[in-house]
Chains A and B, each alone.
Chain A
């Protein structure tokens, strides 16, 4: 008897709950002519998450191992992504107040920031003039170089720079594993460089 051909097309990323499990059908599509072979394969459990929020990878060898344990006499092929990235994320209890504060902070920053940005652009990057104009708009007082607004602005620049470049500190391992922009930039830079060297060597 010929071996039945089974193809599994893997997805790239999957988000799942903590203390949950996933089957083959969650991480990819199974193609097989025989319905009675496809169904059991789809329902084989391949991964169970613990109670910790984190990131993980499933590679095809692990999936193949789990399937071959149960069902023999098939010819298994993997298509699509080479590994499946798992984001294990608990259904967090929504903290309404904290959420509101965060959204308010981001909204206010963007609102005033966009305003300052466009005004700065119109004023041909003359910050002192912009500050005077804004100070007049907010208080109705014409004051030259309003330090009451520009000194908080200076401090804010430091805060903004640190927000941009600092890693996220969180109790959750998943959040801590997220890179900061500099990590991504360094990674991309290294990747470009390696590609360049490889291209040089090929010549």
Chain B
């Protein structure tokens, strides 16, 4: 009993968190967008497996003290990839909340929408830099 209860409860907690994580990403439509952008629809299964594999791997990594010694150039590249994903993620989140269509309609912007996107991207970069350099997160 001392073992069963913790195992069952944490396993079911993991099931819910994992399911929510994948379903959230499905809702955000990041995969379709990336596949449309790179024209690689046929590798959908590969992408999904990598996604699930990575979720498990990083969860284990989170609870362990395991480490490897990577070159700092690789660390920079990985940092960039983190950012690319989170940039996609946050844009997709704003998209499903229907913020931009409403604003663009209200202020009647039809042409030059690209400037709106540029300013959004620059604003995100500036905000993230501010967060890290001035450490508001503590």
Please report A residues at the B interface, Cβ cutoff 8 Å. Answer: 99, 102-103, 105-119, 121-123, 126-129, 131, 133, 135-140, 145, 147-166, 168, 175, 178, 181-182, 185-186, 189-190
Q: How many inter-chain residue pairs (CB < 8 Å) link A and B?
A: 252
* Least Cβ–Cβ distance between B91 and chain A, in angstroms: 4
Q: Are B98 and A158 in contact, CB atoms less than 8 angstroms apart?
A: no
The answer to whether A149 touches B125 (Cβ under 8 A) is no
B50 adjacent to A111 (CB under 8 Å): yes
The answer to whether B87 touches A145 (Cβ under 8 A) is no
CB atoms of A114 and B51 under 8 A apart: yes
> Can you list 27 A-B contacts (CB < 8 A)?
A105-B38, A106-B47, A110-B50, A110-B51, A116-B58, A117-B25, A119-B59, A128-B132, A131-B132, A139-B68, A139-B75, A145-B135, A147-B133, A148-B79, A153-B79, A153-B82, A157-B128, A158-B122, A160-B83, A161-B91, A163-B34, A175-B39, A182-B113, A182-B117, A185-B100, A189-B101, A189-B102
Q: Which residues of B contact A140 (CB under 8 A)?
A: 67-69
Q: Is the CB of B80 within 8 A of A162?
A: no
Q: Judging by beta carbons under 8 Å apart, are B82 and A112 in contact?
A: yes
A149 near B85 with CB under 8 A, answer: no
Which residues of the partner chain B approach A133 to less than 8 Å between Cβ atoms?
A: 62
- The secondary structure that dominates the B interface is helix
Residue B57 at the A interface, CB < 8 A?
A: yes
- Return the contact of A158 from the options B40, B67, B74, B121 (Cβ within 8 A): B121
